[in-house]
Each structure stands twice: as C-alpha cells, then as structure tokens.
Amino acid sequence: MKTPRILFATSEVAPLIKTGGLADVSAALPGALAAAGCDVRILLPGYGDVLAQLEQPRVLYRDELAGHPIELLEARRPDLPTLWLVRCPRLFDRPGNPYLGPDGHDWPDNAERFALFARAIAALALREVDGFRPDLVHLNDWQTGLAGALLAPVDARPGIVFTIHNLNFQGLFDHDWFARLQLSPTLAAPDALEFHGRLCLIKGGLVFADAITTVSPEYAGEIQTPEFGAGLDGLLRHRAADLTGILNGIDTNIWNPARDPLIAVTYDRTTLARKGTNKHALQAAMGLPVSPAPLCGMVTRLTEQKGIDLVIAALPRLREFGVQLAILGSGSAHFEQALGAAAAEFPQQIAFVAGYDEAIAHRIEAGADIFLMPSRFEPCGLNQMYSMAYGTLPIVHRTGGLADTVQPADCAEPAPLSAGRMFTRSSAPVVSGTGFVFDRPEVEDLVAAVARALDWWRDPPRWLALQLNGMNRDFSWTASSQAYLDLYRRVLARPPAVAQGVPEAPA
C-alpha cells in the first residue's frame, strides 16, 4: 500500500501555541510521519497569536461555513510539515490561551468555535485542495471530535483515526447547543453525542472513528475502568477492539542535552560530569544557593491531576531531607499562592516560577538531579522521558504512561571500589532501572519514594548507573510513528465501519 496522505487536525501545535503535551505531539508525530514519506498537512485554527508568528501565509481558498466566512491559509516553517490554518477572526482571533478567556474561564462560545473547526476538517477531508486530498484524517481530542460524526455517514470518505490525549477533557456543553449548532437530531442520542443530557464532543471521535488510539498502552487499559474512564468506560469497553495504546515519543531534535541551545553546557552519556555545571547554573538562576544539595525539579500544570497538592503537603518533610526544589508551573490560583508563599518563606530551599517558560523548562531538566511527577493519572507524560534523556532521574506514581516508561530501580549493590580509586564511567555497576516508582498517590508514598531516591543519590556509582540506563533509552518517535503508520494502513485496508449499538449506560 502506498504511503497515505494524512490530514492531521489539532487545536494546538508547538512551538506556535501550547497548553500541554498535545502541542508537542502535534508537532513531533506529523514530523516523524513526514520523515517516513507521508504527505502530511497539520490543520490548526487560525488563532491570531499563531498568525502573528507566520510570514505571509498563502490563501488557498475562501468559503463560508455555518454562516461564518473563513479562509484556508497555508504556511511553511522549517520545523513543521506543511501547516494549514482555518482563519475566522470572530471565533479565533483572541490572544492568549486558545480555550480560556482573560478571566481564566472557558470562552462561552467554545462549542461554536470548535464546531466550526470540525466542519472545516470535514470539508477539507472531502475535497482536493492545492493537489492534496487526504486518505486519512487523524483527529485529536474533543476539539476535533465532531468531525468524526460529520464524516462517518459520508460515502467515499477518508479513514478516521481519533486520539485521546486526556479523556477528562470531553467538550461538554448544554443540550441546547445541539439546536444552536444545527446538528442532526440523530446526533442528540445516547449512541451518538448525547451524554447525561449534554452535548459531548469527544464522543464524535469515540463513537464514529474507524480506530481509536490513546497515548500509552497502560492508559488504554485504565480508561476502560470506572476509576479512569470519566463516565465513558462502557463506551470504550464496547469499542475495545478498535482501541490501541501507542506510547508518545519525544522530539529528540529539541530535547537532547548534547545539542540543547537553552542549557548552560551541553553534555551526553560520555560527558555526564558536565551536568553539574547545569545544576549550578539552575540554582543561581532560580535564586537558590549554589551547593551540592540534591535538587528536585518540576515542570507542571498546577492541578490535582498532576499531584501538586501532594508535593505542597510534603514540603516540610522534603525540607527536612535537605533537598532544594525548583518548580515551574501555572494553574489553580491557590496552588500558585501556596508555592509562592513557600518560596518566600524558605528561599534557601524552594524556588517557584509561575507560568511556562520553555528555556526554564529545559534548564530544569538539565540541572535537576531528580524530577518529580506524582500525577494521580497521566495518559502518557513527556517530562519523565525528557528527564531520563537528560540524566535526571524521575520519581513517578505508577499510572498510565509513567508506568510504561519508568523502570523502577532495583536493589543491586555497586561494584566495590579500591581505596583511593577515582570513580569512572567504566566502573558503573550493572543495575536495572531508570527511576523511582510509588504505588499510591499519597503524601507518605511520595515522601518514601524521595527518601529511596536520596539513598541512591548518596551512592554515586549506582546513581550514575541509573542515569546511564535512562540516557540509553530510545524515546524518539521512530517506533511510535511506525506504529501509527501500521494502524493507518490497517484502517485503509478495511471498509469504513461505524460503531453501532453503543450501550446506553455510559452515554
């Protein structure tokens, strides 16, 4: 089978606009597919902040959808495959976060905004534009889900793949949006887009796509359970034969300590001693004392999902351990306030920067000894993979992609060292593991995991062995993009199929 033409539809893509891991995946996966020979178009809403970063995008055509005039623009950048943008200034030309207004709440017309985007996806899936007509449409998260429902009944449509990046974000809106969006009455049913009396846009992908993926094998199993299924576990069990967990990769062109322009000193497995220079630079930049104290880093959204409340509750114990903490993140105001207050009270041990800064994120990965990721659930997670690539050992809760990617450190003893002999890379003991894993998202379990990690940190030969284990792992997109390509080919080799008879309970 020929290499497929892919329309990759997403609501964010790095580095143009980013609120989380979806943006990173939406840049790296299409890039890996293009490198494998696929003809790929990334389709993105034409946010004003994005258009301001592009040089003279080309207008491919103008149209009207659902009463809104739109333009399809094409832009090219050296770091991305061909980029298409749906420009509709009234809906998308808003600064800042693509989903939230200045008050921090969802834009009240998000249903209309992303329904228009979905209609544009469906229209582009069924026509040839500038010599490109897709064989397959890859939809991502609820912002694109309605396109699956719009395309499913169309004859000679392309294949549809839908990826769940986080099932807890479902695109839920009041029932009157069915009428306001002029959706077919057949979609206002439990076996379509209705969910407990509301419109649920993610169901457009879950019910109508030919294949469903999510971002790690462990998470694919978890979301079929009531604990992690967010009310949709019954639907996902019904479609289990069409659900695949494919682990995300990381962009090793960007996240690579050997050629990272954002860190103080580059290094690799053979020059790992240089990591100490990055630690000192991070301590100085964050206002911490430059010292050999163990340094824990975090780059995170400040939400309970990410376990930041566990870290805040654990701060007194962690300070007793003598660790320093360098934290970068934004989210709930009360978490930002708590971290800001802790940093002000204990500036010798705690540093906090509110918001997101790409350079600081890289410097934390390169400079920290330990990276904390105590997420209650984590579909995949990328920072634990960034950490291992940078020789920074992650501490994670055993869930989702964290369980799939971090191998717990074993208890092997280090090789004996002769008195006075300098430790070298060749004398690293043979141990297994790439980090530290705890089983329950509880404060005591997190504290115990940090204590266990510090026991290893005090034993440099064993610590170096774990660092090298992590740095030797291949987290590039090579294997994962091949898994997606194999899935695309399976979808295209069979007749389009729509899930029917969805059980009423989870609808």
Amino acid residing at 504: E
The band of 379, judged by pLDDT with boundaries at 50, 70 and 90, is very high
370-377 average pLDDT score: 97
| Cα separation, 406 vs 414, whole angstroms | 21
Look at 118 and 356; give whichever has higher pLDDT.
118
At 357, give phi and psi (nearest 5°): -140, 115
Domain ranges of the chain: 5-249+479-493, 269-475
pLDDT at 1: 58
pLDDT greater than 60 at residue 350: yes
CATH superfamily of this structure's domain 5-249+479-493: Glycogen Phosphorylase B; (3.40.50.2000)
pLDDT at 497: 55
Domains 5-249+479-493 and 269-475 share a fold: yes
pLDDT in tens, 145-179: 999 999 999 999 999 999 999 999 999 999 999 99
pLDDT greater than 80 at residue 238: yes
User: Does the predicted TM-score (pTM) go above 0.75?
Assistant: yes
pLDDT in tens, 286-308: 999 999 999 999 999 999 999 99
The band of 3, judged by pLDDT with boundaries at 50, 70 and 90, is confident
Query: Is the Cβ–Cβ distance between 145 and 11 less than 8 Å?
Result: no
| Cα separation, 85 vs 43, whole angstroms | 6
pLDDT at 415: 35
Q: What is the CATH number of domain 269-475?
A: 3.40.50.2000
The band of 430, judged by pLDDT with boundaries at 50, 70 and 90, is confident
The band of 424, judged by pLDDT with boundaries at 50, 70 and 90, is very low
pLDDT at 421: 30
| Cα separation, 329 vs 352, whole angstroms | 8
Helix and strand totals (H; E) in the chain? 18, 18
Taking Cα atoms as reference points, which of 320, 373, 310, 307 lies closest to residue 346?
Answer: 320
Distance of CA 153 to the CA centre of its chain: 31
pLDDT at 427: 52
360-378 average pLDDT score: 98
pLDDT in tens, 389-418: 999 999 999 999 999 999 999 754 433 333
Mean pLDDT of the chain: 93
pLDDT greater than 50 at residue 503: no
Q: Which of the residue ranges 204-218, 267-281, 483-497 would you say has the lowest mean pLDDT?
A: 483-497
